[in-house]
Amino acid sequence: CGHDEPRTDDGELEEHEPERLWEVSELRFAAVAGVFLVAGYLADRNDASGSAVTAIYAIALALGAWTFVPGTLKRLAKGKIGVGTLMTIAAVGAVILGEVAEAAALAFLYSISEGLEEYAVARTRRGLRALLSLVPVEATILRDGTQVIVAPADLAIGDLLLVRPGERVATDGFIRTGRTALDVSALTGESVPVEAVTG
């Protein structure tokens, strides 16, 4: 099954990255769908007409399904199947069986999960970008006794990297000479610098 990440028409990942939960469109749709779902439940409990209750549940279903059905149909047109496909089939099946309330509840819950997934992915991307921004733009290596400045991508196994006090380390490796304390909080979360010695 394909993954249900939001992508543009060119297949690229969309770059809108919400920083707060309420900025996630799926969660906003889910919230409104939840209001209609509760309204339908209350209308049913208060002996409202069956058509009115069904109409309220249908609105909740439409709002919840809007977060995943259009993307699912686009992926199906390209021959890709995902979790959204299963949810769409389940919702359609529930409607065919006359269980619009169950279909609305399913769409509501799945739109919440889609929104939380989008928020988590956006946070992870931001964290990775912050981590990658720590990589220095250049590294100093010693070749034949002379210092040569290269891009970190051009480093090769066996290069002797010269790291001065206060510099960021461009790659991992073994310390041949010297000792230091390294701030590895971006990798491990440990706030106290770690002592690093030869070897």
pLDDT at 153 (0 to 100): 84
Is the pLDDT at 54 greater than 50? The verdict is: yes
Determine the average pLDDT of the residues in 66-71.
90
pLDDT at 65 (0 to 100): 92
Using CA atoms, how far apart are residues 108 and 190, in angstroms rounded to an integer?
40
pTM of model > 0.85:
no
pLDDT at 17 (0 to 100): 74
Using CA atoms, how far apart are residues 181 and 167, in angstroms rounded to an integer?
12
Q: Tokens standing for 44?
A: 């049913």
Q: Using the 8-state DSSP alphabet, how is residue 21 labeled?
A: G
Q: Tokens standing for 174?
A: 């073994």
Identify the weakest region by mean pLDDT among 18-27, 59-68, 172-181.
18-27
CA-closest candidate to residue 141, choices 130, 157, 165, 128: 157
**Residue 47: left (phi > 0), alpha (psi -120 to 50), or beta?**
left
* pLDDT tens track for 7-36: 555 555 555 677 777 888 889 999 999 999
Q: Using the 8-state DSSP alphabet, how is residue 140 labeled?
A: E
Determine the average pLDDT of the residues in 94-117.
93
* pLDDT tens track for 124-159: 888 888 777 777 888 888 888 888 888 888 888 888
> Cβ(33)–Cβ(63) under 8 Å?
yes
Average per-residue pLDDT in the chain? 85
